[in-house]
Chains A and B, each alone.
Chain A
C-alpha cells in the first residue's frame, strides 16, 4: 500500500495557497512523519490524503490507484485524531468495533478483530467502560485500537500523542512504533515535535511556509539540512545560526568573532553558518581569548546548556560538561570543533565544513576536531 503525492496543492480562496507543490513517495510499511511548526499546513495535508478536505491541485495515488477525488471511505485508510474522536456513548468495545460495523463485517469477524485490537493495546480490563471513565492515555489507546482493528493497512495519525503527559508520550512512542512494525502498517504521522519525528520515522517530510523544506531519513535531515529552517528545527539544543561574511580567500568570519576556513574560495556575499552547540568547544580558561559572555545557565543533570552572547551581541547556545562551574557574566573562549554548515543568504545549504577551526582573535588557540 504505497502512497504517492504528486504536486498536491490546496487553496481555500483563489490564489491563496496554503500548500503548494507537495510531492512525496511513501513506501508500503513505512513510518512517514510530516513535521512542521503549527500552522504550516501539515494537518491540512493529512486531511487531504484522508479525503476530508478536497485537493485543489495535483494528484494523489494510493496503492497505484488515483485517489484524488475518492470519498474517504474508498481510500482504504484509518485515522487517529489528536483529540481521539471517541464516541462518548459507546463502550470501548463498541468504539473499536464502530468502523467494522459501519462496513458491515460479519459479527464473528468483528468480535475477533476487536478482541485482538484491544489485546494489542492492553485494554482488556476496560472493555466495557465508557470513554469518560478512562484516563487520557487509555482513551488514546482506544483510538489506536479502533485504527488497528480495521483491515486496512494505511493509518493516518494527527498528533496522536500531543495530549499525553511527557512520560506517557515517550512510552507510547515506542509502543506505537513496535505496533506499526508488527502489523506492517503504512503510517503517515503528523507532529510538530521534531524529537517524535526523529525517533519514530523512517522518513521525515519537513513542511514550512506552505511548502516542503526537505524529505529524508532522520539522519539525513539532521546531518544534511537543506536550509536554515530545517537546520534550526531539528536537534536540541537548537543549531546556532551565525551571520557570516567572506573575510579572506577561503575564510569566513562569523558574527565578527569566529573564523571558519572553507575548502574553496567563495564569492563575496552574505552567508549564514550553522553550528550545532555540540560542535562548539569551550576552551579551558586562559587557553584563548574570551569571545563570549554567559547569559543564562541551565543545568540538565548530565550536561549544562549555556546561552551566551558573542562579542558583537549574536546569541550562541553551548553545551558544557556537568562538572564544570559557570556563572552568568563569565567570559568564555569558544572555538569551532565540529561540523559547520554554510548557507547562502537565502538560507539554502551550500556545503558543510568538517571541523573548521580557527579562533578569530587568538590564532595560537587552534584546535583540530
Chain B
C-alpha cells in the first residue's frame, strides 16, 4: 500500500514533466502568435499586448488561405486514393489466392525500407517527363498508394474470422460485394486510422512539394510557411507564428475527430 501511495505522485510527476516538454513549444508558439512582433523581437514574452492582429494580418497579407486550400485538396485526394487502393491491395493479399502472392507482398514490404529521399530523383525525372510539375497531380499521383497502408490493412483484414467469408460465400456474395459490405465495415477502425495517418502525412509533406511546385497557386502549407519567412525582408515573427497556428489547427481537428473512432471492441460478437 505504501508503495502505491508513493508511486502515484511520482508517476504524475513524470507525466507532467513529459507534458511540459512536449506541449511547451506548442504553447509558446501559440502565445507568441498573439503578441506583436516588436515584443517578440525584444524578447518580452510576458507582454500584455495580446490580440489576434497577427491572424488578421496573416490572412490579409499572405496567401495562407490559398495554401490551406491547396493542402486540403492534396491531402483529401491522397487520403481517398490511399484508402481505396491500399484496401483493394490488402484485400487481394488476404482473400485472393494467386501464384506468387506472398512474394509480391514481401516485395511491397521491402519498399518500405527505401527512404523517400532516395526516391526523389527518379520520381522527379518521371513527373517532369509527364509534365506534371507545379500542379496538384504531382503531389497526389506519386502517393496514390502506400506500402505501409497495404501492410496495415492486410493485418486488419486477416483478423476477419474465416467463417464470415464462408457465410458470405454461401449467401452468394462475390468478391466486390464481400469487399464492400463486409471487409470495409469490419476493418473500419483501421481504415479511419489509415485515413488520419495518410491525411496528416500528406499535410506535413515538405521536401517533395518544395521541389515540384513553383507558385502559390499549388504550394501546400508547409512550403508556404517557409515561403513567408524568406519573402519578408524583415521577418514578421508574430504573423509567421499566427500562420503556423492556422496550419496546425486542421491536423489537430483530424486527430481529435480520429480519436473518437479509435476505440476497441467494435467487432465483438461476430464469433464466439
A binds B: yes
Interface residues, chain A, with chain B CB atoms under 8 Å away: 47, 50-52, 71-74, 77-79, 81-90, 98-99, 102-103, 130-134, 136, 139, 163
10 contacts between A and B (CB under 8 A): A52-B170, A71-B169, A71-B172, A73-B171, A73-B172, A84-B270, A99-B172, A103-B172, A136-B272, A139-B272
A72 to B186 CA separation, bound complex (whole angstroms): 23
A99 to B271 CA separation, bound complex (whole angstroms): 18
> What secondary structure prevails in chain B residues at the interface with A?
helix
The reply to whether A81 and B163 contact each other, CB–CB distance below 8 Å, is: yes
The reply to whether B269 and A131 contact each other, CB–CB distance below 8 Å, is: yes
**8 Å CB contact of B163 from A85, A99, A103, A134:** A85
For B268, list chain A residues within 8 Å (CB): 88, 131-132
The reply to whether B271 and A83 contact each other, CB–CB distance below 8 Å, is: yes
The reply to whether B272 and A83 contact each other, CB–CB distance below 8 Å, is: yes
A132 to B267 CA separation, bound complex (whole angstroms): 7
**8 Å CB contact of B164 from A78, A87, A102, A130:** A87
Residue interface mask B60-102, A partner, CB < 8 A = 1: 0000000000000000000000000000000000000000000
Most B CB within 10 A of own CB, among A47, A84, A136: A84
A-B interface, 3 closest residue pairs, ranked by CB to CB distance from nearest: A73-B172, A131-B269, A83-B271
The reply to whether B267 and A72 contact each other, CB–CB distance below 8 Å, is: no
Known: A81-B163, A102-B177. Is A86-B269 also a contact (CB below 8 A)?
yes
A163 to B265 CA separation, bound complex (whole angstroms): 20
The reply to whether A139 and B171 contact each other, CB–CB distance below 8 Å, is: no
For B161, list chain A residues within 8 Å (CB): 83, 85
The reply to whether A50 and B271 contact each other, CB–CB distance below 8 Å, is: no
Residue of A nearest to B167 (CB): A85
The reply to whether A102 and B172 contact each other, CB–CB distance below 8 Å, is: yes
Q: Is B185 an interface residue (CB 8 A)?
A: yes
For A51, list chain B residues within 8 Å (CB): 169-170
A190 to B234 CA separation, bound complex (whole angstroms): 82
A72 to B178 CA separation, bound complex (whole angstroms): 14
The reply to whether B169 and A73 contact each other, CB–CB distance below 8 Å, is: yes
A131 to B173 CA separation, bound complex (whole angstroms): 21
A82 to B163 CA separation, bound complex (whole angstroms): 9
The reply to whether B171 and A98 contact each other, CB–CB distance below 8 Å, is: yes
